[in-house]
A and B are shown apart, each in its own frame.
Chain A
């Protein structure tokens, strides 16, 4: 008798738990889908205080590293050996980004080690600037700038 009672209580608990999960699944399922589908057309305007040319202090054996690189959320999306000019802005192609936080990492090795160097990152949403930050580096220091920004339904927000 005690066994039947315990089994019945367990059956009721399991039924309640599965009911609650099924309701939550019905509520959250379509919303998650909706969030994943929200994308924004984002591009980046970059301005550096240095020109990019071959690094005279690079080791030219094996894999050659790019002199200038943009890494978006861990993926290299732009790299150049040369062609980037001092104080001349350039804009990357557009990338489809989901809403939420993202990171653009700028890596460069300015060959001119005489002066401090800077790089300005501007995030453009459908061509309109929505966040901007300038990063400064000491003479001889490699450029490593992590620009974190958030794409919301309304636009992007600078995290710095």
Chain B
């Protein structure tokens, strides 16, 4: 006998599942994850390929990442070659899906990579650039899920207002550091956008990508240049980064006879429960450490 009850129940379940269908967004980095999560709210599921602490320059995708991208409705990368060997682009191409680049519209700073001029990918380090990320992410969500347009727009506006006030806060905090002491020495050139925006001189022994550390290490010339800069500029402290081994920075600090100002969040945000688990928390924590170390 035909089971009508089962048929009705199945139809009901299908209706419920269609009504509650949310889009899935796959993003490459933890910074993009946090910005997207704030815009998506409960209306979309956001998955990050990188976990807190993982390095986007050297990351090599695993099988689970292929599935994540294949099952996603929206795929977002940082771009500007942050994802070493364009791994997020490759994942999207293999899945036959379009890719959104969060840095679209940002005028990139140029950096020197072994004598070659390349675009600096660490664009999220100013709230102004983060606002471009927010615009690109919000546009992508609205396009793929127009039913929740109003919610995405109102969350994005709230996030942009927070970024604007973060920008004002950073300017007021760094103003206590005398201009001649605004020299930011870190492991690799992740802070060029931050330094340019807030009037710092930025120097780093590794260069623009941590990949070079894995490949051939730091050149003796570059290391010597950093030590000399520290001495000439009378720098008070230097900083290491949460995703990179602090050994090199410790050695440089010892050579130059200065202290270490602590660890800064650079290519990855912090674990849950740490101040660096959100974009705004990460920026605030970095600024607090920089100001304390240099003023």
- Which A residues contact B (CB, under 8 angstroms)? 56-62, 113-114, 139-140
Contacts and interface: CB of A to CB of B under 8 A. Distances in A.
A4 B165 CA distance: 80
Interface string B22-38: 00000000000000000
Contacts, number: 42
Interface in B152-200: 153, 156-157, 160-161, 163-165, 167-169, 171-172
Contacts of B164: 57, 113, 140
A55 B281 CA distance: 23
B160 A140 contact: no
Contacts of A113: 164, 167-168, 171
Contacts of A139: 168, 171-172
Given A113-B171, A140-B168, A57 B153 contact: no
Q: Which of A57, A58, A114, A140 has the most CB of B within 10 A?
A: A57
B48 to A, nearest CB: 23
Interface of B: 127-128, 131-132, 134-135, 138-139, 142, 153, 156-157, 160-161, 163-165, 167-169, 171-172
Contact of A61 (B142, B163, B169, B171): B142
A59 B168 contact: no
Nearest to B141: A61
Contacts of B168: 113-114, 139-140
A59 B158 CA distance: 10
A60 B137 CA distance: 11
A60 B171 contact: no
A140 B167 contact: yes
B162 to A, nearest CB: 9
Nearest to A62: B153
A60 B156 CA distance: 10
21 contacts: A56-B128, A56-B131, A56-B132, A57-B131, A57-B164, A58-B160, A59-B134, A59-B135, A59-B138, A59-B153, A59-B157, A59-B160, A61-B142, A61-B153, A114-B171, A139-B168, A139-B171, A139-B172, A140-B164, A140-B165, A140-B168
Contacts of B135: 59-61
Contacts of A60: 135, 139
A80 B265 CA distance: 39
Contacts of A57: 127-128, 131, 160-161, 163-164, 167
Contacts of B139: 60-61
A63 B287 CA distance: 35
B29 to A, nearest CB: 21
- Give the interface SS of chain A, mostly helix, strand, loop or mixed: loop
B156 A59 contact: yes
A137 to B, nearest CB: 11
A139 to B, nearest CB: 5
B172 to A, nearest CB: 6
Nearest to B198: A114
Contacts of B153: 59, 61-62
A58 B153 CA distance: 11
Contacts of B156: 59, 61
Task: List the 4 closest A-B pairs by CB distance, nearest first.
Answer: A140-B168, A57-B164, A113-B168, A114-B171
Nearest to A109: B164
A144 to B, nearest CB: 14
B13 to A, nearest CB: 35
A135 B153 CA distance: 31
A113 B167 CA distance: 7
A10 to B, nearest CB: 62
Contacts of A58: 160
A60 B131 CA distance: 10
Given A139-B172, A140-B169, 5 more contacts: A59-B153, A60-B135, A61-B156, A113-B167, A140-B164
A113 B164 CA distance: 8
Nearest to A139: B168
